[in-house]
A and B are shown apart, each in its own frame.
Chain A
Amino acid sequence: MARNVSTGRKLITTVVAWTIGILIFFPILWTFLTSFKTEAQAIASPPVFLFFDWTTENYAEVQSRSDYLKHFMNSVIVSFGSTLLGLLIAIPSAWAMAFSPTKRTKDVLMWMLSTKMMPPVGVLVPMYLIFRNWGLLDTRTGLVIVLTLINLPIIIWMLYTYFKEIPGEILEAARMDGASLSKEIIYVLTPMAIPGIASTLLLNIILAWNEAFWTLNLSAAKAAPLTAFIASYSSPEGLFYAKLSAASTMAIAPILILGWFSQKQLVRGLTFGAVK
């Protein structure tokens, strides 16, 4: 590779790229900084950037005023619950489609994907009524069910693209050695599939954590995950910038960290394997 780029040009690229990167990231940085200010400093003009009295009182306040931890746990339970349930249903399907494909496998896969194309608002009314009649409104169980269903096609697709990369010869060898189907899955496939499953898990937790149509419409005070809880700051209460920032920082920090670890899988999962 003869990329003989002059140091000067590299320096200029660096400065430009960093400037743009920081500008794009700035709203998040600003939220983080504001979360440690007092309310007065948060709306000070001119704004204070770094030199203010750092305080953590907003975090304590958000928790004591609105039981933040409860909503945080709702998010954890709903996103992990729907992801694990989805994996449980999807792993056998993706495995079967990757290793015992039939003429119809492709059609089945495409059809599964097509369910993802349905705009949620097309089924909002019946889902709301079903939830109301079955007592599922504002319950974590209800949210887990819906999020499992909406993300199931993505989980199956991602697993399928990963499973297909596992060489069939290895399974063949295991079968020759007399491994039964269940043994084949437990001892041969699973260890090789774990990286793919882990990536799928990560991406799906991110998607479920940030899902903001069904969580907003089907939950209220009791089961509201952070998406819905933060939405309550759209009322005049949102004018308390420091508290809004503290609540927001805690809501986005875990996912930012997860997401940064899984950049590559993000591309793959979100394009259904079309771009790797």
Chain B
Amino acid sequence: MNVSTRLFGLTLVFVLLAVFKPGKAHAQIDVFDFETPEQEQRYRQLSNDFRCPMCQNANLSSSPGGVASDLRREIYRMIMEGQTDAQIEEFMLARYGDFILYRPRLTAQTLLLWFGPIMFLLAGAWVARNIIRNSGMKKFNHNRAEADASINQDTYVVADIVISDEERRRLNRLLAEHDDSAHNQDNTGR
């Protein structure tokens, strides 16, 4: 306990204070002048939402060089020309297709993608409701359950320090038999 508490403390201090030395992957930085903070914000947002067509899997803003930097320049140009986000997206789509959008368009083929999670949630909620309802119909005997719980606390805790291996095996065998008989009783009880 004490060791782990100390480790925990140390880790916390470490995260708070450590100033890390290295850092990798050379960043190529574009320097653009924006007239308003909103334009700058849109530029960052857009270059985060488009995927670099050439790189492994990265958005335009974190991709070095090549076509990514050309595309960032185009985004900047279009923002400064006053084009809307929708127009810029249209520009990208017309040249590179759906691949470039990190936020897929809602089409017939992406219905499952966009509505899947809600379907999962509804289906799960329906199943959960059934479980809760079925459960409410089951035997709902507090005392019985408590008695079982307290017995369970002790039943399967088998300490090797006190009893020998052979005793333990015998115990397990007995308990297993006991389980079976209890199980049968329960089945008939249903």
A and B held together in a complex: no
Q: Which residues of B are at the interface with A, using a C-beta cutoff of 8 A?
A: none
